[in-house]
Amino acid sequence: MTDNELMLAVRGGDIDKLGQLFETHHKRLYNFFRQHTGNRQASEDLVQEVFLRMLKYRHTYKGDGNFESWMYGITRNARIDYYREHSVEYVDLEETGNLIRDTPGPEESFSQKSDIAVLQRALLKLPEDKRELLVMSRFNNMRYKEIGKILGCTVGAVKVRMYRAMKELTDTFMELTGGGHHEM
């Protein structure tokens, strides 16, 4: 069964089918939230919240085949509400120091690992909207057209914003690594 068919079944009252959707998507959602909040506990709570909302709002599922967009809309609202309730400073940066848990793989050098930790810090330093854009584009592989639909703007506007977000991320990353060897 496709995601679309599963969700249609859930909408029709066969809510056990949500379990299959959970199995397919919860890990990616969790990591998505983790990039956003930098906090594991918050990310786990948010995953739960998303699936709860899917049940609660299942009647709003149109079944036009685009389950992911619908889920993303819910994800986005859950995250925004969460920030509103907990206010950003409660969540952000709480755990960023150890976002990368445990040991690197044998093939990974230490500097590679710490580079990525720095990048995650840089990501969390970005303003909300820029981080969201990068996460959508890079981690969710969404096309500009899709992103534009969600954000309510044109593809051209997404393009411009995306460039700015990438520029700021790169600048922040360079700044944090202290190198500045790629002065932009």
Partner 1 sequence: MKCETIQANIPEYLSGTLDSETSQQVKMHISECTTCRQKVEAMNLVWSKLEQIPEEEPGFAVRSRFYHMLEAYKIGMNNAPAKKAVIERVNEWLAVWWPRKPVFQFGITVAVLILGILIGFRMNFGTGPKNEITQLKDEMSEMRQLVTLSLLTRPSAIDRLQGVAMSKDIINPDEKHLSALINTLNTDPNVNVRLAVVTALEQFSDTLWVRNELVQSLEHQQSPLVQIYLIDLLAKIREQNALETLKTIIDNPETMEPVKKRARLGMEKII
Residue 24 engages partner 1 in binding (rule: CB under 8 A): no
CA separation, residue 66 to residues 7, 36, 56, 171, 172 (Å):
10, 23, 18, 36, 35
Residue 142 engages partner 1 in binding (rule: CB under 8 A): no
Residue selected from 7, 47, 74, 78 as contacting partner 1 according to rule CB under 8 A? 47
What x-and-dash track marks residues 64-83 binding partner 1 by CB under 8 A?
Answer: --------------------
Q: Identify the CA nearest to 53 among candidates 83, 77, 30, 32.
A: 77
Radius of gyration for the alpha carbons in the chain, expressed in angstroms and rounded:
18
Residue 143 engages partner 1 in binding (rule: CB under 8 A): yes
Residue selected from 1, 12, 28, 154 as contacting partner 1 according to rule CB under 8 A? 28
Neighbours of 129 (CB within 10 A): 12
Residue selected from 9, 18, 78, 124 as contacting partner 1 according to rule CB under 8 A? 18
Residue 49 engages partner 1 in binding (rule: CB under 8 A): yes
Instruction: Give counts: helices (H), strands (E), the chain.
Output: 8, 0
Q: Could you give the CA distance from residue 117 to residue 119 in angstroms, rounded to a whole number?
A: 5
What residue ranges bind partner 1 (CB under 8 A)?
13, 15-16, 18-19, 22, 26-28, 30-31, 34-35, 39-45, 47-49, 51-52, 55-56, 85-86, 89-90, 100-101, 112, 115-116, 119-120, 123, 134, 137-139, 143-144, 159-160, 162-163, 166-167, 169-170, 173-174, 182, 184
